[in-house]
């Protein structure tokens, strides 16, 4: 696998090649996932839940994210590295630039923000300063208390149109990647066709330009509630590297996610 860049991800979308992304939080797993053929690694603020044992992502700090971003970057040579901007770390463009600089210096190639058209100025300022940006729409975990829980978004026609509007606005502002989480498959397919940038789905059906999973879900390490959109790729035996190779292959072939992992 050659080094993955924003230009390579864009070329994959244009060629109809599926992008496989997974979360990682340390050098060992990052290196293993890269060897398994993963194109992009997300250092998610999901670490608040899967590593720290919290009930949400809200307690994660920029320092937490920088530490784990540096760890992942130390394990990678070719994979594209995206780091989450944690809760309330980008409430103004100035704050966003300062905190994004910390994550980029730690080794990120791109930062991810949760939210819609109200982030346009922030996205523009970040890209002007040389920071590539990934958007995140649908179920945005940092807004869990606004949503009243981790719930499917965009099922009603009006809400679906709002998500489309925000996707267009963010692309116009300069994002180069978009994550869609927990939205109906048809909505995700519409947005993927509508945008020129790659769209990565999680719980968004098979018709996005790629998929992302939390590594604990993909390896069957999740305790308690297991989201519908996940699959345990380690269940059939083998080892971690083989499990992630299977994930990459199933994403590439369009076999994952299947209907059982998607929302109508």
Catalytic residues: 181
- Residue 2, annotated as binding a ligand: no
Coil, strand or helix: which one is 210?
strand
> Strands, DSSP E only, in the chain?
19-23, 40-43, 80-84, 110-114, 133-138, 177-181, 199-202, 210-213
Beta bridge partners of 212: 21
Ramachandran class of 179: left when φ > 0, alpha when ψ lies in -120 to 50, beta otherwise: beta
Which residues have C-beta within 8 Å of that of residue 59, sequence separation ≥ 6?
Answer: 48, 52, 87
SS3 46: coil
The answer to the question of whether 260 is labelled as a binding residue is no
Residue 71 labelled as part of a binding site: no
Residue 114 three-state SS: strand
Is 17 annotated as contributing to ligand binding?
no
Instruction: Please tell me whether residue 202 adopts helix, strand or coil conformation.
Output: strand
Is 46 annotated as a binding-site member? yes
- Binding site for Mg(2+): what residues are annotated? 45, 84, 114
- Binding site: what residues are annotated? 45-46, 84, 112, 114
- Binding site for 3-methyl-2-oxobutanoate: what residues are annotated? 45-46, 84, 112
């Amino acid at each position: 696998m050659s080094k993955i860049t924003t230009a390579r991800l864009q070329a994959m979308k244009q060629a109809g090649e599926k992008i496989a992304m997974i979360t990682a939080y340390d050098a060992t797993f990052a290196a293993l996932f890269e060897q398994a053929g993963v194109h992009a690694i997300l250092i998610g603020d999901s670490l608040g839940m899967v590593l720290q044992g919290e009930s949400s992502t809200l307690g994660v700090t920029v320092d937490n994210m920088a530490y784990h971003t540096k760890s992942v970057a130390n394990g990678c040579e070719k994979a594209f590295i995206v780091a989450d901007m944690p809760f309330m770390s980008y409430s103004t463009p100035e704050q966003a630039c300062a905190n994004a600089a910390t994550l980029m210096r730690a080794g990120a190639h791109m930062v991810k923000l949760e939210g819609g058209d109200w982030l346009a100025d922030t996205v523009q300022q970040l890209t002007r300063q040389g920071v590539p940006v990934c958007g995140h729409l649908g179920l945005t975990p940092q807004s869990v208390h606004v949503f009243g829980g981790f719930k499917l978004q965009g099922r009603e026609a009006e809400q679906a149109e709002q998500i489309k509007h925000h996707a267009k606005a963010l692309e116009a502002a300069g994002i180069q990647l978009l994550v869609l989480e927990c939205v109906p498959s048809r909505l995700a397919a519409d947005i993927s066709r509508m945008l020129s940038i790659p769209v990565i789905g999680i719980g968004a059906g098979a018709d996005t330009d790629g998929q992302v999973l939390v590594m604990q879900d993909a390896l069957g390490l999740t305790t308690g509630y297991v989201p519908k959109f996940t699959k345990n790729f380690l269940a059939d035996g083998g080892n971690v590297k083989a499990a992630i190779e299977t994930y990459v292959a199933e994403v590439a072939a369009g076999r994952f996610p299947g209907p059982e992992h998607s929302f109508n």
